[in-house]
A and B are shown apart, each in its own frame.
Chain A
Amino acid sequence: MDTIHSFTPVWIILTSAVAALLIALLGRWPNLRESCIFVAAAIKLGLLLSLAPAVLDGKLYEFEVMELLPNVGLAFKVDALGLLFALVSVSLWIPTTIFSIGFLRPLKRHAQTRFFFFFTIAISSAVGVAFSANLLTLFIFYEALSLSTYPLVTHHQDDDAIKGGRKYLTYLLGTSIAFALPAMIIVYQQTGNLDFANGGVFASGTSTALLAVLLVMFLFGFAKAGLMPFHAWLPGAMVAPAPVSALLHAVAVVKVGVFSIIRVLTGIFGVDLLANTPSLSTIVCVLAGITLIVASLIALTQDNLKSRLAYSTIGQLSYIILGVGLATKIGVAGAALHIPMHAFGKITLFLCAGAIYQACGAKRISEIHGLGRKFPLTMTAFFIGSLCVIGLPPTGGFVSKWYLLNGSLDSAQQWAFAVFLTSSLLNAAYFLPIVYKAFFAAPTDAARLDKAKEPPLLTIVPLFITSAGCVLLFFFSDKLFQFANTFAEMYTAQ
């Protein structure tokens, strides 16, 4: 495997950290402050794209900053999956920032500088997770992300926000300290190695019981992935302002959770080990399968729009985990592909929810009947986002679900096929009625609709960008599939 020694990964992480510093200093001048974000995002995106050709060629960018423990350092490695995830996070950061400006300024929200500061730190941490070369580095950035998003979740600083924030930290810090940390130390004690590598770190002959215990500890330890029963923080985190829910709780934070689980399954355990030890693969698939179905069923019952979206996210995250758990090449590729596809779909939905809230203050689905006739563009974007999450053409979600279904047929866990299909039906059942009622049902609260005013342009434009993204991803899915496939080949080849 070719590796390129390069400092670029560190620069990419640092650009947003430097931007955060500037944001803190420029708090008095909002325009200057926010232009920092765009400049940083553009530089970051440019640097990320400059890495793409070599990475798609199967090469790796590596850089070790320093050694932290014998044989384990603060080290970065850029492979196809990491680059894909970083690209998704950073490219969605731009529309979200536009949205944030449109969302926060007219409402005269307090502490906007603090908001943008921690938002930027969170993006840095997410990219740090994406580029981590070993489990310890990943853990460091994972915790940094938990801590830096806490001020965002509690942004409103009222009782609900404090309660949500408390739940958020209890679940995320609690599980990572109680499960992921000891599991990681046991792996280190057993193998002396925490690097992500094809084939994992365990010597052959490691007892399956130990592996199973470690596996469960990792699956629950990275609770950002929302595996049940450690999912309740995500609906609780919906007290955060809309842009936070959109980028962090549909893309960066939750995807960091599944990303960590993918890294552990492919790089620490190894896909071959999973494939050859059916009990391990079954554990992953059953836990993910249960979450998938149960979360979709709960989503059906939610009237609060953001809660329904949150439960939908919990279900969709388990698609990815289930895909990797299948331990087939196509399954892994499909799982990797589902990261960007779901990200674009879900962020569109959350931005729509934010725009709706801003236009008429509605938080509940029962309050937005008839809204589609007043705001056809917003609800059309919502419709496209729903299609993407359900997995219908012509949106990107179709492609990733296609590969996931294929992967399940290839594997020993063929029942997963039925789970995927059932869940997709449920997805349709909880999304399409919203769209239908928005366009065709009689308004429940006509007075509210009359009062509603068009949301500012800055909150509408991002919706177009991301919903257009959902459609474009369908037509250019081969580009993304290259990333997913390069990763799957690297980690499933003998």
Chain B
Amino acid sequence: MREQLPIVIILGPLLGAVLAAFTGWFRPKLSHPLVVVGLAISFAAALKLVFIVAAVGAQEYWLGGWGTKPGHGVVGIQITVDHLNTLLLAAVSGIALLTALYTKRLVDTELAGRQRYFYALFSLLVTGLLGITITGDIFNLYVFMEIAALSSYALIAYGRGRAYMAAFNYLIMGTMGACLYLLGVGFVFAKTGTLNIDDVSAIVPALGQSQALFVGFVLILLGAWAKMAFFPFHGWLPNAYAHAPTASAALLAPLATKVAVYTMLRVMVTVYSIDYINHSPGIQSAVLYLSSIAIVVASFFSLTQTNLKKLASYIVLSEIGYMVGGAWLANKPGLTGAMVHVVADAAMTSALFMAIGCIVYRLGQAQLDDLKGVFFKMPVTMAAFVVTMAALIGVPPTCGFFSKWYLIQGAAQAGVWHFVVALLLSSLVKAIILFRIIEIGYNRVPHPAIEGNPAIPRNEAPLSMLIPTVAMALGLIALGLGTSTLVNTIITKALPAALTP
């Protein structure tokens, strides 16, 4: 059974998607439980693999047995669970599972009458994301990238009005990104004659300073950046997430961009190498500047937003800058920070969008001015929201504090002070946002406990939404306290050998 576990991660949501689409045709009520079961199986397998990888190391699986025989490696597809992706696999499948449970009520009201194929697309998107993360083959990665992208266009276009335009923008940008990535893969294949990541990484150092490989590297990076909405390819994201149905945004925002960041990390660390990056210092410093700009610009845009969903989308954008910058510091604490932050940010963004979803469910909208008194209406949701924002600010002992710690340490070690300043500035901006929301939601109404003031009836989100939200927010603290364990047992081993003497 153990050797089959990697493929189970993919098969759970894939079969869930197929069955959900099938039952959606004649019995739509069945699709939600089917998808939940598929995701639960996937999450269980991913969780089990985290322990296996931590204990014995990477697990490989060759699809159809191709590649296990000599000469088959070129066509066979390998999937790998190693120290770099195992945590993300567990995070993606776990968050997807919680989100599936969480979105049931949202979908029933927000998409009433149209929810027939929602969960099939939902599960297909998760399949794509998990596939990108687990595959050991750069072309297969492209295939999963398209599966994820196509289902996410549809999920965004489920919204009304401007959602179509936003989905179209995203489609243009996403397709360009995928094309660039595919072109890059072409260059790599032309030069190395293989698509298997392990084989490529064995061949690349021998080729030395090849122009073609370099072009391939840059194209792949540009593709990944377009997919993750890294500055200056970020224009599509805020509209797409703000106008998408809340249920779609709750799944897309935490996972889609993080998986794209993982793609970049995989290419940087495994396909090419840290040496390769250190030998191209021009790009390195340019990317670091871009990261700082991404963080600062997105932070300031988030400050000017009046809509909670838009605001959260800009927060997602600034967090992208954290991870890209951390990775390109290309030293031990920087890469550690980027890897921790991929998981931490997935959890933080998920909790953020869940809390916002609860607010939207009860208030019907998410303009900041509508939040007056929301702390009295939905105290539990808002407690989760405050914890989540604290994590995004980087208040200890939440997970956001520790990833930021590693990132700043890496920047200090590399002497990249503009990145330190950008990180701190972004924390301060988020603190301002949090306390502005507290002021509006708590202090701008006459306190109901004072005699003579109007009472504010409690109107908490339904339990099926509240429980996942609170669980996620508590998870942020647990993840923070567990950071050192995760770093010691898994993330340190994912770092390139050159950095861990």
Contact = CB atoms under 8 A, between A and B. Distances in A.
B447 A169 contact: no
Interface string A65-99: 01111100010000000000000000000000000
B119 to A, nearest CB: 39
B363 interface: no
Given A143-B396, A166-B435, A66 B481 contact: yes
B424 A178 contact: yes
Interface in A181-209: 181-182, 185-186, 188-189
Given A66-B484, A139-B396, A157 B447 contact: yes
Contacts of B487: 70
Contact of B435 (A67, A69, A74, A169): A169
Contact of B424 (A111, A162, A182): A182
B406 to A, nearest CB: 8
A152 B483 CA distance: 32
A143 B395 contact: yes
B405 interface: yes
A67 B484 contact: yes
B80 interface: no
Contacts of B442: 157
Contacts of A43: none
A68 B431 contact: no
Interface residues of A, number: 32
Nearest to B395: A143
A165 B333 CA distance: 36
B420 interface: yes
Given A69-B402, A143-B396, A189-B413, A177 B439 contact: no
Interface in B383-402: 390, 393-397, 402
A182 B420 contact: yes
Given A66-B481, A166-B435, A111 B396 contact: no
Contact of B402 (A68, A165, A166, A173): A68
A426 interface: no
A428 interface: no
Nearest to B484: A67
Interface residues of B, number: 31
Contact of A177 (B405, B412, B413, B427): B427
A185 B412 contact: yes
Contacts of B413: 189
A41 B451 CA distance: 32
A69 B407 CA distance: 13
Interface string A147-188: 100100010010001100110010001100110011001101
B450 interface: yes
A182 B397 contact: no
Nearest to A65: B481
Contacts of A169: 431, 435
A68 B451 CA distance: 47
Contacts of B420: 182
Main secondary structure of the interface of A (DSSP, over half): helix
Contacts of A185: 405, 408-409, 412
Contacts of A150: 435
Tell which of B443, B449, B451 has the most Cβ of chain A within 10 Å. Answer: B443
A50 B465 CA distance: 48
Interface string B170-203: 0000000000000000000000000000000000
Contacts of B37: none
A105 interface: no
B443 A69 contact: no
Contact of B428 (A147, A165, A178): A178
A493 B395 CA distance: 36
Given A111-B449, A166-B439, A186 B412 contact: yes
Interface in A45-77: 66-70, 74
B288 to A, nearest CB: 17
Nearest to B453: A110
Given A69-B484, A166-B435, A169-B435, A181 B395 contact: no
A418 interface: no
B408 A111 contact: no
Given A173-B431, A177-B427, A178-B424, A147 B409 contact: no
B341 to A, nearest CB: 15
A140 interface: yes
Contacts of B443: 154, 157, 161-162
A188 B424 CA distance: 17
B428 A174 contact: yes
Given A182-B424, A185-B408, A68 B484 contact: yes
B338 to A, nearest CB: 16
Contacts of B450: 110
Contacts of A74: 397
Contacts of B409: 185, 188-189
Contacts of A69: 402, 405, 483-484
B431 A182 contact: no
Nearest to B450: A110
B412 to A, nearest CB: 5
A299 to B, nearest CB: 29
Contact of A181 (B397, B424, B431, B449): B424
Interface string A129-144: 0000000100110010
A183 to B, nearest CB: 10
Interface string B53-82: 000000000000000000000000000000
A174 B432 CA distance: 10
A14 B394 CA distance: 24
A121 to B, nearest CB: 14
Nearest to B444: A162
A105 to B, nearest CB: 14
Nearest to A141: B396
Interface string A299-341: 0000000000000000000000000000000000000000000
A157 B442 CA distance: 9
Contacts of A189: 333, 409, 412-413
Contacts of A157: 442-443, 447
Interface string B405-434: 100110011000000100010011001000
B408 A182 contact: yes
Nearest to A112: B449
Nearest to B394: A177
Interface in B438-474: 439, 442-443, 447, 449-451
A181 B420 CA distance: 11
A140 B396 contact: yes
A177 B397 contact: no
A68 B397 contact: yes
Interface of B: 333, 390, 393-397, 402, 405, 408-409, 412-413, 420, 424, 427-428, 431, 435, 439, 442-443, 447, 449-451, 481, 483-484, 487-488
Given A69-B405, A177-B424, A178-B428, 4 more contacts: A111-B447, A165-B435, A169-B431, A185-B412
8 tightest A-B CB contacts, nearest first: A140-B396, A110-B449, A110-B450, A185-B408, A189-B412, A67-B484, A189-B409, A177-B427
8 contacts: A139-B396, A140-B397, A157-B447, A161-B443, A166-B435, A177-B431, A181-B408, A186-B412
